[in-house]
A and B are shown apart, each in its own frame.
Chain A
């Protein structure tokens, strides 16, 4: 089964995914791609939790449920975020985050 894979490998994968998501969030010039980077981050977190659950506490199922809830919340968040992006598009005609800076000094 999965016995031969050390925990640290899985953690490496999930952390790389996490930091790629952060890089994407900070760098991208489109609100949708920022949202996608956010999904990457969430996904990495879920993978992390599941891995710890499997390796450290195999009898418990908390990690499993946590991941389930993360997916559910990601769904809700994505829908609201898209609604906001649509509303922004309607008002600003633009979805470049660098152009939407009205809340400045």
Chain B
């Protein structure tokens, strides 16, 4: 059952990603991206990384995408149809991406010694919490604090940049 689920999720990811980058309507692109993110969360669930999957759903899918949808509506371009890109541009971009993909996969597949079986170890939330605030080896207290500062800075920056300038 699990492998099948994984392949379903993968197909969902790929199709909706493609749709997201080629559709002509902005809001549809946002929704397709939402589906991609949900499918990724599903894959995380399959990995038994429950906390991460929950965070992905909450933050990424529920927070960022909603934010993007709000912003799209703020700029009054919600209902418009986007232009399709010029043929040359899409051709060259497609070429670059395809080449990149080919190189990447070729390199990956010619490298031997990747194990193909995962071990059966679950990571509990308790473990995560402990290492999140510990400051020794394997402790993530510092990045935790730093990212909180980053979020603060981002918040302040967003307010300042998007503020209406008073004449």
Interface residues of A (CB under 8 A from B): 1-13, 15-17, 19-24, 26-30, 32-33, 35-37, 39-40, 43, 46-47, 50-51, 54-56, 58-59, 61, 64-65, 67-69, 71-80, 82-87, 89-90, 95
Contacts and interface: CB of A to CB of B under 8 A. Distances in A.
Interface of B: 2-3, 6, 10, 13-14, 17-18, 20-22, 26, 29-30, 33, 36-37, 40, 43-44, 46-49, 51-52, 55-56, 59-60, 63-64, 67-68, 71-72, 74-75, 77, 82-83, 85, 89-90, 93-94, 96-98, 100-101, 104-105, 108-109, 114-121, 123, 127-128, 131-132, 138, 140, 143, 147, 150-151, 153-155, 157-162, 164
Given A23-B21, A27-B90, A47-B43, A86 B121 contact: no
A8 B63 contact: no
B94 to A, nearest CB: 6
B63 A47 contact: no
A58 B118 contact: yes
Contacts, number: 227
The main secondary structure of chain A at its interface with chain B is helix
Given A35-B68, A47-B40, A58-B119, A76 B154 contact: yes
The interface residues of chain B, by DSSP majority, are classed as: helix
A71 B30 contact: no
